[in-house]
Every structure is written in C-alpha cells, then in structure tokens.
Chains A and B, each alone.
Chain A
Amino acid sequence: MCLAVPVKVVSIEGNEAEVEIGGVRRRVSIVLTPEARVGDYVLLHTGYAINVINEAEAQETLKILEEMASLDEIH
C-alpha cells in the first residue's frame, strides 16, 4: 500500500517544493517535512513529501546487504 517514491528536492518556495525523478517534475507540498532542504531526497506520497530520506542509512543498508551476500559465498 502507500505508493511512495524517492524524489529529489530541486527548489523550495514556502510550503511547496519542486521535485524531480528521472526527469519528471512536480510541485509538491512539504508541510509534513519542514526540515527538507534543496538537494535532499524525500519520499513522495500523493503529492506530499512524507519523510526526508537518510542517505547515510541508505549506504549503511547497502553495506549490510553486501556483507550478507558475501557471507553466502563463504558457505
């Protein structure tokens, strides 16, 4: 449920932001993520940013995935 897609914040004007993904752009509301800044990635759900994506955590998760994958090789 809850289709939400990571998009990049390109510009901010008050409560609204212009976001971009794969060249597609739209004006969305950032009332739920007032901490969002230009350059951040946010989760977009029905025209609202619902969270700012934590890039460091994303890298960490990828690292965990790669470690798990290499554990498989040891066996």
Chain B
Amino acid sequence: MKFIDEFRDVELAKKLVNRIKQLSTRPTRLMEFCGGHTVSIMRSGLRQLLPPTAQMLSGPGCPVCVTANADIDKAIALASLPDVIITTFGDMMKVPGSYSSLQQARAAEADIRIVYSTQDALQIARDNPTQSVIFIGIGFETTAPTIAASVLQAENEGIKNYYVLCLSKLCPPIMKALLDLGELKLDGIVCPGHVSAIIGSRPYEFIPRDYGVACVVSGFEPLDILLSVEMLVEQIESGKPKVEIAYRRSVKPEGNKTALEVMDRVFEVNSADWRGIGVVPASGLKIRNKFERFDAEQAFSITLEPVREAKGCICGDILRGVKTPNDCKLFRKVCSPEHPVGPCMVSSEGSCAAYYQYETV
C-alpha cells in the first residue's frame, strides 16, 4: 500500500536503530505524546529495539483516555432520553463513566450506534427525521474539523435533528500544562503527526523556546518514528532544541488552512476537563453561539448523578507520564480489557491497553 509499505522497510529500520544507538550517548527521556504512536511502537516492537538510553514515555494523547467521567456520564444520560439516537466512534463504547458505559447503556435498550464518520451520523439523522441524533464529539484537532464540517453540512442541508456533544480537546495547551506541572523531566517530545497535519508545527514553538525541550513532528509508521527519534537525539546531543517536522509528506508548518477555518467557524476555545489533570483553561472547544442549535448540551436537559472516580485507578498519573501501568495496583489483577476500571485500559491506545496487549518479551 502506497505511503505505508515504504515506511515499514525492515532493513532500513534495523539500520536506523543502529544509527540511533551510535548517536545516543546519554540517557534521554522522550515522550510519545500521542496514543497512536504508543500503539505503533508497541505493535512493531520498536520499544525493544531502541537503545536503553532512549527512554520512551507514553503521554496523554489519547482522546478517549482523557475524557473525564463527567463527560462520559453526560453521553450516557443523553442516551437515556426518549427518541434519541446516539452516534459514536467505536472507541467510546467500553469506556466506564461513574456508573456505566455506553456499551452497558446499549444493552439496557438505549439506541447507540457505532459510526466510522460524522457523515454516517448525518445519514442516520436524515433516515430518522423524528428522532434526535446526537454525535459524541471526542478527539483532538485531527477530528475537530470533521465534526465542524458536519455541523456546517447539517446547516446547509437544513437537517434539524442533528446535534453534537462537543468534547474536542486541544494538544498544545495540554502539552504546556504538562510541562508546567514539572513532574516530568523531558528532553524531547514526539509530536502528534495527524494533529499537526491540521495545526502545523508552529504551535509547538513555545516548547523548545520556553522549556528547552526538543520537538519533532512524527508520522506513524516504524520508519517515521525511528526518524523522529533520531532527529530528537541529534537535537538533544547538540544541545539545540527546536521544532522539526519529520512527517513532511503530511505536515506543513502552517498546517491545513481550510480545516483550521472550518474549525474556527463552528468552534471557539474553551476550558476543558482532562482526566487526571483537571480543568485546563483554553484547552478544549465549544460550539459557537451562532450554531448553538446543534449543541447537545444546550438542546437537551439532563440530570447527572454525582461524578465518581474509580477507587485505586491511577489513569491520571499514567496519562501525565509519572507512572507506568506496571505501577498500578489494579493493572491485570482487577483491571483488564474485559473489565476495564479506567479508560487507559479501554482505549486501544491507552497506555494500559497497549502494555497489556503488546507486552514485549
């Protein structure tokens, strides 16, 4: 498959690993911010092949994992309303909220349908004009433009029964919040490639400038990640941190202007509640007043039970990179993919799920 197979070349990968081993003279702490990178690294076994000096930490870049219990509870409460069809990406189905999950709600007769795209949700809205179709809008800046586009399309077509529960979050603000927390001593960050396809590389410039941390925007194939690690190690060894793009075939410094405009038309920046971190100002998106008739939070009134966090769950610490799944008392013993306690185990790219599924030998 084009632009995939070439970046999985085994021989090149092995040579790159050797080059990294030669370059890397001192211990470096690199965070792979994005859950997709965690999965790719673990699935290909890259973690095993990299030299011990290049330590990889998993970050909070998993939109499912960082969705707060309160927000999951909202989605479930909306699902229980009459004449409502919930449309959601598959990722959210098993995530436990304070009391239940969308999967459990579906078993209890809520109409919850998995979709691949907001386009499919719009079609469900067209096909069911007497029902309210609510889309659970999780994701980062990669997904936000697609959700915004669906709102604009609903408006253009006069679709009156389509709503979005806006849970979109932004990456650069949370990176700043993590760096400000000062819990981690990071030398470099592998920046999320597909978020950057939308926002470009400029939003990360504050990271080397204000924190002295190296940044490389990375693709997801093994060779992409290896190239990024190599570039990060080079930056760190030279003592000159900056923002570089390794994923040049998909990321421009200015990003995707059309996508950014579409996002800006529909959304405005707002504070957001991040699991394990708390409420972070200007780190999420909210539907603008102009489009408030599409906002599920405005259109429907729900009552929520008090939010509860699962006892013993340290997903928050894991998301911030200060603990690993193996540090968690519940990991494997109580918390497993069949019976997840926290979202890090549910999301296929949550650290715990990745460690559980792809534990290296």
A residues with a Cβ closer than 8 A to B are: 1-6, 8, 21-22, 28-29, 31-34, 41, 43, 45-48, 50-51, 53-55, 57-58, 60-62, 64-66, 68-73, 75
- State which of B2, B15, B36 has its C-beta within 8 Å of the C-beta of A2: B36
Asked whether B238 is an interface residue with its Cβ less than 8 Å from the other chain, the reply is no
A51 CB contacts on chain B under 8 angstroms: 197-198, 250-251, 256
15 contacts between A and B (CB under 8 A): A2-B139, A2-B142, A4-B194, A28-B117, A32-B149, A33-B258, A46-B143, A47-B119, A48-B149, A51-B198, A51-B256, A55-B249, A58-B249, A68-B227, A72-B18
Residue from A1, A46, A50, A72 in contact with B36 in the complex, judged by beta carbons closer than 8 Å: A1
Q: In the complex, are the beta carbons of A1 and B140 less than 8 A apart?
A: yes
Q: A1-B61, A55-B249, A71-B19 are in contact. Are A62 and B145 (CB under 8 A)?
A: no
8 Å CB contact of B146 from A46, A66, A69: A46
Question: What is the CA–CA distance of A47 and B12 in the complex, to the nearest angstrom?
Answer: 32
Other than the given A33-B258, A48-B146, 20 more pairs (CB < 8 A) read A1-B63, A1-B192, A1-B194, A21-B1, A28-B117, A29-B146, A32-B146, A43-B197, A50-B194, A50-B259, A53-B249, A54-B249, A57-B249, A58-B248, A61-B248, A68-B15, A69-B16, A69-B19, A72-B15, A72-B22
Q: How many A-B residue pairs have CB under 8 A?
A: 140
**1/0 contact trace for B1-36 toward A, CB 8 Å?**
111101100011001101100100000000000111
Question: Is A53's CB under 8 angstroms from B3's CB?
Answer: yes
Contact A61 B192 (CB under 8 A): no
A-binding residues in B (CB < 8 A): 1-4, 6-7, 11-12, 15-16, 18-19, 22, 34-36, 61-63, 89, 116-120, 139-140, 142-143, 145-146, 149, 152-153, 192-195, 197-198, 223, 227, 230, 246, 248-251, 256, 258-259, 262, 349
Q: Which residues of A contact B140 (CB under 8 A)?
A: 1-2
The A interface, classified by DSSP as helix, strand, loop or mixed, is mixed
Known: A2-B139, A32-B256, A60-B248. A46 touches B4 (CB 8 A): no
Instruction: Name A60's closest neighbour in chain B (CB-CB).
Output: B248
| A69 CA / B18 CA spacing, docked (Å) | 8
Q: With the chains together, A59 CA to B258 CA distance in Å?
A: 25
Instruction: Contacts A29-B149, A57-B249, A72-B18 given; indicate if A66 touches B12 (C-beta within 8 A).
Output: yes
Assuming the contacts A46-B117, A48-B146, asked whether A65 and B16 have C-beta atoms less than 8 A apart, the reply is yes
